[in-house]
Structure 1
Amino acid sequence: MEDSEFLVRPDPDDDRLFRVVDGVDQDGRRIEAPIINERPLTLYLNGRRIVTAVTIGDYPEYLAVGYLMNQAMLRPEDTLVSVEHDPEARAVRVVIDADRDLDAMMSKRTHTSGCALGTVYGDILERFADVPLDTQARFHTRWLYALSKKINTAPSLYLTTGAIHGCVLCEEDRPLVFMEDVGRHNAVDKIAGYMRLHGISPRGKSFYTTGRLTSEMVMKCVQMEIPVLVSRSGFTAWGVELAREAGLTLIGRAKGKRFLVLAGEDRLVWDADPAAADEEPARARRKGSRSDD
């Protein structure tokens, strides 16, 4: 696969994101193991501290902007005045041209099932059903098979270190923006931030994740107005319920020839023969073992 297919993809050679430590293996032999780094990153909006996230440390500006968007603290009509990363303070400071009642929003807090402690603030659930998703969008099953193969054979931090999730913004059969992080919610937020800062429309897009299809993943995908969400892993009941409520197409357990659709199946165009699809190579199957982390 050509790297040019991706606008952004993980760099497994970026040694800022992992370290090598000594250990022993199952035979008692001394080994060196690469392990992922975790760093705190504090996000501020208009001078107010919002949250300290645990992240691998890449793309902090995208993470900050995407997080604020997916919490509805930053809205499409708002103007971004500035986004400044302070590496020494491990902080990103975002300034917008709108006043938000942040105290009221942050008083409504829901901890989600996301790893590294996901949180949803404010009235997102109250506004959830009003977010418009493209009812005319279609998703071809041949695109699904092509995306699975391209994404799961791409170089990644997971294949170097493990202990990490991946998310990908896609268009038809092309993976566009591939982000990884210790929490899948961070990887989603980085993509949301990238889309906002680079002016990428959700129209015609789909979203791929290696993690579970939880309520949090569904809420974030709907907030981004992306109508199709795909995962290698399985579903939670509330995730399926919310997807059906929002009109989101929800495809899970997408491995090799197989997948399962539990919401929005009317968007699918059945133009691939599962019998002709490739089974996953062993390396990709090992990668899938993280999906329920």
Structure 2
Amino acid sequence: MRIGFFLSTEEYTPAELVAQARAAEEAGFAGLWISDHFHPWNNEQGNSAHVWSVIGAVSQVCDLHVTTAVTCPTVRLHPAIVAQAAGTCAELLKGRFTLGVGTGEALNESILGGPWPGADVRLEMLEEAVEVIRRLWTGEVVSHRGRHYTVEHARIYNVPETPPEIFVSAFGPKAVEVAARIGDGYIGTSPDAELVAAFKQASGGRPAQGGAKVAFAPTKEEGWEHAHRLWPNAGLPGEMAQILPTPEHFEQATQLVTMESTRESAVAGNDLDDHLDLVREYAEAGYDELYLANMGPHTLEMIEFYGTHVLPAVDEERTR
């Protein structure tokens, strides 16, 4: 399994993200994920840079493959605009770009004041959006009048000769069916072997990328404190992450997330075995690639730690 680094636009400034991308390449990470948010999950995280601007900057400082994890090309951004933005970034990255897409969260997509559709409608919108994006990436003039989107005589001029692949995020059986039908690959954020296997079976074995977060720190307790302060939203159950509309709502809801639950769920500290166990968990679930983010102020140290210890250990296990 290949190991990449996950750039969290919600927690770090644009300059920090660019520095992390450069450091990740130097450390030996295989690629980059980058989140696409309008809001952070809570005000403590404190950032939410425009992802396409950051990708443009990253393209100038490192040669790693970049995947958006994930963009919602349905409500906040019309799919034609996403097609143009992604095409430009893919050209800057010389084709080292994958458009990761999903149905999104109200946290980011409800900012324009319209209704937040239900999950089935959002999946329908995503499928039509992907169709529009792929048509625009042909470089031909496109007019489209569908159930959810209209495009009138539009043409994308900047896109690589080989259009980017599109990977689809999915968290349930119905979403996995859609992902297998329209996606070149799968994106998930939990080591759910059943969902990964369902996607691979339905798609004919297309690749799966997973994402996870750790809280690297000198001690486990410090790491857990950072995780609980910055990312308590990770402990919210069910569909709450998709329907809560503001960072303030997330702050209210995460008051119910206990420090004990954070300790039970988050990998923290600098114990090599703990970090390797997390990697193995995603490998055993069937993922082909894993992208790891850090929670807290020790991100550059985490990148160095992985480059020195974790990545070589993973490579050694792979060659046994």
Compare the two structures and name the one with the higher helix fraction. 2
TM-score, length basis structure 2: 0.29
Compare the two structures and name the one with the higher strand fraction. 1
